[in-house]
Structure formats: structure tokens, C-alpha cells
Chain A
Amino acid sequence: MLLFIARRLMQFVPVMLGVLLIVFLILRLIPGDPAAVLLGTEGSEAERLRLMHVMGLDRPAPLQFLFYVARTLTGDFGRSIFQGDSVLNLLQAAVPATTELAVLALIITVLVAVPLGVVSAVRHRSWTDVTITFVTLLGVSMPLVWFGILAILLFSQQLGWLPPFGRGPSLGEGLTSLLRGQPALLLESLRYAILPAVTLAFGSIAIVVRLTRSSMLDVLNLDYVRTARAKGAAPRTIIVRHALRNALIPIVTIVGLQFSALLGGAIVTETIFAWPGVGRLIVNAISQRDYPVVQGSVVFVALFVSLVNLLVDVSYAYLNPKIRYS
């Protein structure tokens, strides 16, 4: 197990350096030099050269990259041009909002998708199965943006049940107040979070239903399930205790990998619902040409996703001994 973790970490380091290299190279594609962009039309040539020197842009590119890696490793993600704040501070404000959204979406995905997939497999080729399969096919094809807009139109504009935009108290605050016996704050928090979280979950639900269904179908045809049936075990016991347990292994992997897709989806979801997370931070920074914020946030999200994938891999190896030795 330790060997597996060590090997996986060895793969992690070059990927991280690669991520930094790609982001470094992408930002060199910007026409004009960053010092001129920063100074605008005001600056003189002397000022520009001085700023180039301060920013280290007069050094050769490989050296610039090394300094960039060193700065990132020490947690220095640069400073915003427009907000005057460090990118790390901006991220610290935005990351909890995005994480909250992604985690809620992941919970919704599992709670909805796994039971639907199981029912679809157990009632193979029935009307229930056909309906679920058809709806998931629509789900895979439906753009997230449209789902979000339709959700706002129905639940906010027509029915007036939920607020269309913005974020309420954080989920953390809601949960602490629930522990003190006051559920109102949690409900208020969920009232704002539920529409964006369901929108974000929607695409993943379709994918996880499909996978659960095929994974369950594979397992239900195996000999040991037939043996359990022959022994006269109750159908429910067979489905849950025997079949689902083994079918869960690929499901856990795909759910873990959905986290990356969810963070990508969060960029669009946050823009629809004016949710103050990393996605909105990046989209606004691109519109304002606030390059340090774009650079810092993109690197941060990529590092975060890789770290989560690493954890998924390790926990997966822990759950399934076959992986460790392959």
C-alpha cells in the first residue's frame, strides 16, 4: 500500500510541473508584454523597463519559469491588477463557495443516480428501464446553461419558491446553527444553494445512472448472484448486499472523477446564478484582462483537481486490493 502511494506520488509531481508549464506558456501567448498592459497608455519607456525588471521579465524564459514554480510552491499566486488584493486572498474568499456547491452537487448525484441506476438494472427492459434510459439520454444531451435557466424560470419566476440569484449564509454556518438547535439558518442557506447545486448535479446524474445500470447488469448475471437466488435469499438482500456491493467499485471511481467535471461545470453554474465562487472569479478576471488572477486561479483549480484525483486513487486502492499489485 505504501509502495502504491509512493508510486502514485511520483507520477503526481511531473504532472504538477507540467500544469505550471502549460499555464506559463499560455500566458506568454498574450500579445504585448505584461508590463505594458499593466501601465496602460500612461507609462514611459523607462517606467516600462523598470517594471519589466521588477517583474523579472528581462530574464531568460527558462529562468522565469523556475522563479514562477518557486513562487507558486511558496503559495505566492500573484496580485490582482484591478482589485489590488493578492490572488490567494481572492481565492480564499471564493473557494469555500465553490466547494460547497460541488460537494452538494456530488451528494445529490449519488442520492439520485445510484438508486435510479439500480432500479433500471433490476427491472431490465421494463418500461421503467426504458423511461430512465431515455431521460438520462436527454440529460447527457441537455446543456447545463439551459437547465439552469429553465430552473430559474420555473422555481423562481413562475412559482416564486426560491431566490434566482446569489448566495445565502454558508452551509457551514447553517450546520453550526443547526447543532445549536436553530435550523432556520441552514434552511436559508439551502434555499439559495439548491437550484445551482441541482443544475450542477444534473449532467453528472445522467452519467452515473448509466454507469450504475451497466455495472449492476454485469454483476447480476454472475454465478454467485445466481447461487444466492438459489439459496432463496430475499430479492432485496441479493440486490443490496450481494450485487450492489460489488457493482459499487467502478461507481466510486467515476463519482470521484466527476469532481473535475463538477468544478468545470461550476464555472458556468456560478455565472448563471451569480454564485460568488472561483468560476465567477475566473470569468470576471478574463473579461477585465486581469491576467494574474486568471493564471493563479487556473493553476489553483488544476492543482486541486489533481489532488482530489490522487486521493480517489489511493482510497480506491485501499478499497480494492487488486489495484495495489497491478
Chain B
Amino acid sequence: MLTSIQKSATPKRRPSRLLRNKPSVVGAVIVLLVLLSALLAPVLTPYSLEDRDIRARFQPPSAEHIMGTDNFGRDTFTRVAYGARVSVLVALVAVGIGLVIGVLVGSFAGFFGGVVDTVLMRTVDVFMAFPAILLALALIAALGPSITSVMVSLGLVYWTTYARIVRSSILSLKEEEFVDASRALGASPLRTLFRQVLPNAVGPMIVVATVGMGGAITAEAALSFLGLGVQPPTPSWGSILNVGLQFMRQAPFLSMFPGLAIMVTVLGFNLLGDGLRDVLDPRGTTT
């Protein structure tokens, strides 16, 4: 019943509604800037990732090194800019893995109901019994710390959120008349699910995936801070924070910029996600 509101909103008006919402515009601009600095990292900085000058260790911010240098005399700005690549890549792949599993599990559970639903949702309960970062750590312990392990393990941790939200959208969508119509026309259940029902659940999925990007970036930073995520010398915001903690006496400024980068990026995804929710998910499935 309420879904008719969502469908009646013409696609044309959606972008303008998003643009009128100031916080989400700020969010979109931040996200865009982060993506740009990830793409343009080599152009933004005169230094390369390999450049190190051991005599210029722990330099405070200056015109030459706007964010100072680290324990190897490497330019922190360069590492933060390249770190954006790692963060965005890890988050994209992790959210992608989570979405694929979550959408499959959630839509089967919601659409077929009964035993299928019970078994799949009990599995979700089991995964949710672990604090998220703990399950990721257990998986990394088995797979060995690497950037791939981080992506895979975060994907295997976050799919439960997506499964729950997709399931609840499917549950309300399958009562709609167009589902009966599709069945009456002789479409198989799977065809009805993937061609008719799922496309209508895309809005909430985009919202949770956007907010999920922020969560994945924070989680990657935490894992890399623990030394169990992205391994040196690949720069990650989390591992720079770890170095910052170790050398806080010599270089208190070292922790400032990667931390700020994480906060601003996550803030961007959160603001954008809130704005998208108003536009794409007026029923509030994702709140």
C-alpha cells in the first residue's frame, strides 16, 4: 500500500529532491573529493610512495610537507592521499561481497518464506552473535593478514545487515498486485523474484550500501591499526594511526591527518546515505 508512494515519485524529480537537501549535498561533495584524491593521488603530490629521507624524520607540517613526515621520513600527505585508494577499494569490494550474499539470502528468505526463511534467518542470527570486528578478526586469523583477507572478511561480516533489509523490503513487495500478475502470466517464481520484485527493492539497498561504505572504511582502519589489515609498506589510514600512536612523543601531528581523513570520509558517506534515504526509501525500511 505504502509502496505506491515510492513508485509514484517520478525518477526525474529524485535528483532535485536530493539537491535541495543541504547535508546530503555536502556529503556528496565530500565523497566526490575523496574519490578524486584516490584517483589523482599521483598528481596531487610531488613525492612518490617510495620516497624516503631518513634525515627528515618526524618533520612537523611545513610548506614542503604539508602534513609532516613519518618515522622513515616519508611525506604523510602522500601516504594519506594514496591511503584513500586503499580505503575506498577495500570498502567497495567488502560492501560488494556483502551485498551479493545479503541480497541472495535476504530475497530467498523473504520471497519463499517457510522453512527456507527460518533456516536462512537463523543463520543470520548466528553470524550476528559475534561482535562484527571479532568475526572479522577470526577470519583474518585463519586467512592470514592481507588486503584480500580484509575485503573478504568484512564482506562475510556485513552481509547480515543487507540480508535483513532486503528480506523486509521483499516481504512487503511480494503482497503487491504486480507479483500476482507476473505469476498469473506464468512466470517462474525465480523470474518473478529477480525480474519483478528485486528491482523494486533497489532503493533501500543503495541507502544501506552507502552507509555501509562508511562502516567498512572505519573497520578497515581499525583492522589495519591492529596490524592485522593492510600490510606495510602499502599505506592505510589505520596503519598510519598505529605509527602515530607508537611515535606520539616525537611526532604528535602524525595521527592528526589520517584520523581526520577517516572522519571526514565516513561523515560524507553518512550524510549522503541520510539524504538518499529520504529520496529512495520513504517507507523507512533502512532506519
With A18-B123, A22-B127, A152-B248 known to touch, is A268 a contact of B226 (CB < 8 Å)? yes
* Complex CA distance for A30 and B149, rounded to whole angstroms: 12
- Report if B142 contacts A (CB, 8 A): yes
In chain B between 106 and 155, which residues have their CB closer than 8 angstroms to a CB of chain A? 122-123, 125-127, 129-135, 137-145
**Size bin of chain A's contact surface:** 35 or more
Cross-interface CB contact of A271 among B122, B145, B225, cutoff 8 Å: B225
Q: Who on chain A is nearest to B23 by CB?
A: A137
Cross-interface CB contact of B139 among A14, A26, A282, A285, cutoff 8 Å: A26
Identify which of A78-86, A238-246, A294-302, A316-324 touches chain B. Answer: A294-302
Chain B residues with Cβ under 8 A from A107's Cβ?
A: none
- Report if A234 contacts B (CB, 8 A): no
- Report if A29 contacts B (CB, 8 A): yes
* Complex CA distance for A2 and B248, rounded to whole angstroms: 55
- Report if B68 contacts A (CB, 8 A): no
A149 lies within 8 A of B142 (CB): no
In chain A between 267 and 284, which residues have their CB closer than 8 angstroms to a CB of chain B? 267-268, 271-272, 282-283
In chain A between 136 and 164, which residues have their CB closer than 8 angstroms to a CB of chain B? 137-138, 140-146, 149-150, 152-153, 157
Q: Who on chain B is nearest to A306 by CB?
A: B129
* Complex CA distance for A15 and B126, rounded to whole angstroms: 5
Chain B residues with Cβ under 8 A from A272's Cβ?
A: 245
B252 lies within 8 A of A19 (CB): no
Which secondary structure characterizes the binding site on chain B? helix
List residues of chain B with CB under 8 Å of any chain A CB.
122-123, 125-127, 129-135, 137-145, 214, 218, 221-222, 225-228, 238, 241, 244-245, 248-249, 252, 255, 258-260, 262-264, 266-267, 270-271
B133 lies within 8 A of A23 (CB): no
Cross-interface CB contact of A143 among B134, B143, B244, B263, cutoff 8 Å: B263
A305 lies within 8 A of B131 (CB): yes
* Complex CA distance for A170 and B139, rounded to whole angstroms: 32
Identify which of A55-63, A184-192, A258-266 touches chain B. Answer: A258-266
With A267-B226, A283-B228 known to touch, is A298 a contact of B134 (CB < 8 Å)? yes
- Report if A178 contacts B (CB, 8 A): no
Q: Which of B139, B142, B255 has the most CB of A within 10 A?
A: B142
Q: Who on chain B is nearest to A263 by CB?
A: B131
- Report if A70 contacts B (CB, 8 A): no
Q: Which of B127, B133, B144 has the most CB of A within 10 A?
A: B133
B267 lies within 8 A of A298 (CB): no
Q: Which 6 A-B pairs have the closest CB atoms?
A: A264-B131, A146-B259, A18-B126, A141-B267, A29-B142, A141-B266
Nearest CB in chain B: distance from A284 CB, A: 10
With A145-B225, A298-B134 known to touch, is A26 a contact of B267 (CB < 8 Å)? no
